[in-house]
């Protein structure tokens, strides 16, 4: 092999390695849209992540979906949906901290809130919405009247830390998966529809003032 060709290949190889180091483990490539939407979640067992992806799909795939540990640049987004997973009846503390630390950047951009819980495998309903959305997430985000939804999620013991796994074993808990894609898609549509209502009402208000 000629020295020049060898060097060229070597440089390309280094470039590829550098890129691989910067690669994201999971990146949803959203459909082109004039609007800048993001879903932000925190997860242990992955159901809050899957719910986020399916919510975006319900909106026509226009939102990019991030684990908050990726620390996305919030200035890029105009519309944000936040999802938190539940442990011991609380929204994950990292999500709460993240909301507090990014209050300024999130202000006026929150369009939807969701939580994912186990609820002893009973369907989550209005009581869980009040507990996890109205009395926690909505208050942390300082919003009211944005669509909110609680989904049933899952437990995958292989993803839990040793201490938690031990507790789960003592409680004789087994793996389960109750997250339903259809519910997440419908919630994505509900969020988009709420935005349309907002736009219609704003236009009507302006017309009335003229
Ligand atoms: C240690 C532990 C505590 C939990 N506590 C609750 C709880 O108090 N209430 C509840 O409804 N679900 C509880 N769950 C179930 C989780 O909310 C459920 O697994 C959910 O899917 C987690 O979201 P994730 O898949 O995004 O991590 C708990 C799960 C674990 C592992």
Burial of 48 (0-12, 13-18, 19+ CB in 10 A): buried
Residue 60's CATH number: 3.40.50.360
Residue 12 forms part of a structural domain: no
Indicate whether 9 belongs to any domain: no
Q: In the predicted model, is pLDDT for residue 10 greater than 50?
A: no
Range of the domain at 148: 27-209
- 109 within domain boundaries: yes
The answer to whether residue 33 is domain-embedded is: yes
Spatial distance between the Cα atoms of 192 and 146, rounded to a whole number of angstroms: 11
Mutate to test the pocket of ligand 1, among 43, 86, 89 (most ligand atoms within 8 A of CB): 86
How confident is the model over 95-118, as pLDDT tens digits?
A: 999 999 999 999 999 999 999 999
- Could you tell me if residue 4 is inside a domain? no
Tens digit of pLDDT for each residue in 29-71? 666 666 799 999 999 999 999 999 999 999 998 899 999 999 9
Domain for residue 192, yes or no? Answer: yes
Q: Using CA atoms, how far apart are residues 13 and 10, in angstroms rounded to an integer?
A: 5
Please report whether residue 151 resides in a domain: yes
Cα–Cα distance, 72 to 100 (Å, whole number): 15
Question: Would 3 be classed as within a structural domain?
Answer: no
Q: How many folded domains does the chain comprise?
A: 1
Closest ligand 1 atom to residue 154 Cα is 21
**What would the pLDDT profile of 178-199 be if each residue is shown by its tens digit?**
999 999 999 999 999 998 876 6
Comparing C-alpha atoms, which of 55, 36, 38, 59 is closest to residue 47? 55
Rounded CA gap, 45 and 164, in Å? 12
């Amino acid at each position: 092999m000629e020295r020049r060709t060898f060097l060229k290949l070597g440089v390309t190889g280094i470039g590829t390695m550098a890129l691989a180091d910067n690669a994201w483990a999971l990146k949803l490539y959203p459909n082109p849209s004039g609007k800048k939407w993001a879903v932000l979640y925190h997860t242990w067992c992955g159901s809050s992540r899957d719910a986020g992806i399916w919510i975006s799909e319900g909106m026509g795939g226009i939102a990019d979906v991030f684990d908050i540990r990726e620390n996305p640049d919030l200035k890029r987004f105009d519309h944000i949906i936040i999802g938190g997973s539940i442990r011991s009846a609380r929204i994950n503390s990292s999500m709460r901290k993240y909301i507090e630390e990014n209050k300024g950047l999130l202000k006026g951009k929150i369009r939807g809130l969701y939580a994912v819980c186990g609820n002893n495998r009973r369907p989550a309903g209005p009581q869980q919405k009040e507990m996890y959305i109205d009395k926690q997430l909505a208050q942390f985000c300082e919003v009211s009247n944005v669509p909110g939804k609680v989904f049933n999620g899952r437990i995958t013991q292989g993803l839990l830390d040793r201490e938690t796994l031990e507790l789960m074993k003592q409680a004789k808990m087994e793996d389960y998966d109750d997250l339903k894609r259809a519910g997440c898609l419908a919630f994505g549509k509900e969020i988009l529809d709420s935005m349309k209502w907002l736009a219609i009402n704003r236009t009507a208000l302006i017309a009335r003032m003229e």
